[in-house]
Amino acid sequence: MPYLTIDGERIEFEKGETIIRAAERNNIEIPYYCWHPRLSVAANCRMCLVEVESCPKLVPACQTECQDGMIVNTKSQKVKATQQAVHEFILINHPIDCPICDQAGECKLQDYYMQWDKTQSRMQDAKVNKPRHNRLGPYIIYNAERCIMCTLCVRFMEEIAGMRQLGIFNRGDHSEIDIFSGQPLDHPYSLNTVDICPVGALTSTVFRFKQRVWNLKRSASICNHCARGCNIYIDQRAGNIYRFIPRENEAVNQSWLCDEGRLAYSQTNQRLAHALIKSSSTPEPTVSDCNKAKQRAVDILAKPNAVPPHLGAMLSLHATCEEAYVFIRLLRDVFGVTKIALLEYNLGTQDSFLRLADKNPNRAGIMIIIKELGVTIFDNNELLNAITNNSIKTLIVLGHEGDNAEVVAKTAAKANTNIIHLTSARGPLSEVASVTLPILAWPSLDGVWVNADLRAQCLTPAFTGEGDSQPSYNWLINIATCLGANFNLNSIETIRDQITQQITAFAKINLANIPSVGVELA
């Protein structure tokens, strides 16, 4: 295999690989602004200039392909002096407004200044002042003063989004990024331009000035907005989520995330912390002691009319595989229920890139479990008819996520159906439920979702739950115990062991140790 030497380190490379990629693979840092591994090479920022033996001039590492026997130096005095000069040039017209810039704390210009420059500006002429607040689209604001014309955003729109909504206007130090007249930057993937902007030129109208990034805690997770299962990072502070940003996974979403998915973060900040009880004397649900609420659920389920066919069950397609397994086992083994209705979102918009029409993140995983545990799907209309004609007198519901929640709630309220609701947020069902038990929302859960391509991916808790909320399977196991059932599922480890033993599709997967990029089901 051919090799080159970078800073004295022998590195093998594939044909066509560039110096910057080979260096990156081996944790050798070469500074850059305009390079992105998934975009074409512009080589216009000149920060990645390196010294190649036998070359009379420095060469851009992002553009220069590795050659067998090549010797590269990225840390010589000549390279450092050039990087410092390039940086000084970039800063000629750039305002030093880090204290008010929304990108402070994650700005390459700021980082590189501290690393390579740290010199006083020798600029004696007045800076070229460009527009500071140009709204390019519904989610993007452009500050031309900070722009270093790396053109990453322009290339992203042309090469990844496939729609040329940005361009370079004017010339020389008057150049600006802008939209074409009457064509706002409103593409469904527009917020990726904020992610890749190396300075604070492009900022999100949704996130800007909400938080300083050094106050946020970041954890890996999975987007809940559709069945694609894009990998994300959750940025939160004290349990309040401020943004989702893409996490790289070549098999799922590469480096990108759609605007719909990343803006879904706000829905997860409406969480239920305490149990609710509703009775004929309390037309609105009122906060209850959690033990009292649990006992109310037990009392309802102990009644003679809480057995099939008078007992119905609904399960959200946002539930994890562990939650779904325990819910179905409880309904099947303890109560004899063999038909489960689904709380689900209707089909939405999809495209040829990431967005899928199915807006239910764990449909595939739950359908596998339903099928292998031998229960069937209760059609939505069939369920509504059964509630209306009073055939179903008690309904136990796990989750609140679904477009059909409201019609089920109205139908159940009209028929005086008892609803036991386990949910992480209030919604139509909790407003009419006899008892509502608070469960952990998906950002706080340890669990598994399976995406539309049958890739099992792990949710990891970003923060602990509030108040009395706990995993739904804890409530269910507790209720089963109170009813005297021998329901031997007392921990997440036991649940996962049983899933791998009983669900063939999961037989070869270690559910407790799924890789960060997920694993395909057999």
182-201 pLDDT, tens digit each? 999 999 999 999 999 999 99
Those residues with Cβ within 8 angstroms of residue 513's Cβ, 6 or more apart along the chain or in another chain: none
Give the pLDDT confidence score for residue 123 in this predicted structure.
82
Give the pLDDT confidence score for residue 117 in this predicted structure.
63
Q: Which of 93-97, 296-300, 328-332, 445-449 has the lowest mean pLDDT?
A: 93-97
Query: Can you tell me the mean pLDDT for 196-218?
Result: 96
Query: Can you tell me the mean pLDDT for 111-127?
Result: 81
pLDDT at 116 over 80: no
Place of tokens 């006083």: 120
Rg (CA), the chain: 28
The CA dihedral of 467, 469, 474, 476, to the nearest 10 degrees, is 120
| Residue 228 to residue 56: CA distance in whole angstroms | 49
Query: Can you tell me the mean pLDDT for 347-362?
Result: 97
Q: Which of 152-166, 271-285, 338-352 has the lowest mean pLDDT?
A: 271-285
- Spatial contact of 214 and 105, defined as CB atoms under 8 Å apart: yes
Place of tokens 């609420």: 293
Task: For 289-334, write each residue's pLDDT tens digit.
Answer: 999 999 999 999 999 888 889 999 999 999 999 999 999 999 999 9
Q: Are strands 376-378 and 394-398 parallel, antiparallel or unpaired?
A: unpaired
Query: Can you tell me the mean pLDDT for 431-441?
Result: 97
pLDDT at 503 over 80: yes
Give the pLDDT confidence score for residue 119 in this predicted structure.
75
Q: Which of 162-176, 215-229, 482-496 has the lowest mean pLDDT?
A: 482-496
pLDDT above 90 covers what percent of the chain?
Answer: 88
- Spatial contact of 102 and 203, defined as CB atoms under 8 Å apart: yes
Task: For 133-149, write each residue's pLDDT tens digit.
Answer: 999 999 999 999 999 99
Give the pLDDT confidence score for residue 183 in this predicted structure.
94
Sign of the alpha-carbon torsion through 152, 158, 164, 167: positive
Question: Strand locations in 174-290, DSSP E?
Answer: 176-178, 202-204, 217-222, 231-237, 240-246, 275-279, 282-288
Query: Can you tell me the mean pLDDT for 458-470?
Result: 96
**HSE-up of 53 (CA within 13 Å, CB side)?**
12
Those residues with Cβ within 8 angstroms of residue 255's Cβ, 6 or more apart along the chain or in another chain: 36, 37, 38, 192, 195, 246, 248
Residue type, 336: G
Those residues with Cβ within 8 angstroms of residue 174's Cβ, 6 or more apart along the chain or in another chain: 128, 130
| Residue 129 to residue 417: CA distance in whole angstroms | 67
Element (H, E) at 408: helix 405-414
pLDDT above 70 covers what percent of the chain?
Answer: 100
Give the pLDDT confidence score for residue 490 in this predicted structure.
81
Give the pLDDT confidence score for residue 115 in this predicted structure.
80
In b/e form, how buried is each residue of 144-167, taking b as 16+ CB within 10 angstroms?
bbbbbbbbbbbbbbbebbeeebbe
Q: Which of helix, strand or coil describes residue 141?
A: strand
Selected residue with higher pLDDT from 257 and 131: 257
Q: Where are the alpha helices (DSSP H) in 136-191?
A: 152-159
Selected residue with higher pLDDT from 20 and 305: 20
Query: Can you tell me the mean pLDDT for 95-115?
Result: 90
pLDDT at 120 over 90: no
Q: Are strands 140-142 and 217-222 parallel, antiparallel or unpaired?
A: unpaired
Place of tokens 């969480």: 271
Kindly state the tokens that stand for 285.
Answer: 């649900």
Kindly state the tokens that stand for 361.
Answer: 């993140």
Distances (CA, A) of 88 to 46, 92, 182, 465: 12, 6, 36, 48
Q: Are strands 275-279 and 282-288 parallel, antiparallel or unpaired?
A: antiparallel
User: Whole-number mean pLDDT of the chain?
Assistant: 94
Give the pLDDT confidence score for residue 263 in this predicted structure.
96
| pTM of the complete model | 0.94
Q: Where are the alpha helices (DSSP H) in 26-143?
A: 77-90, 108-112
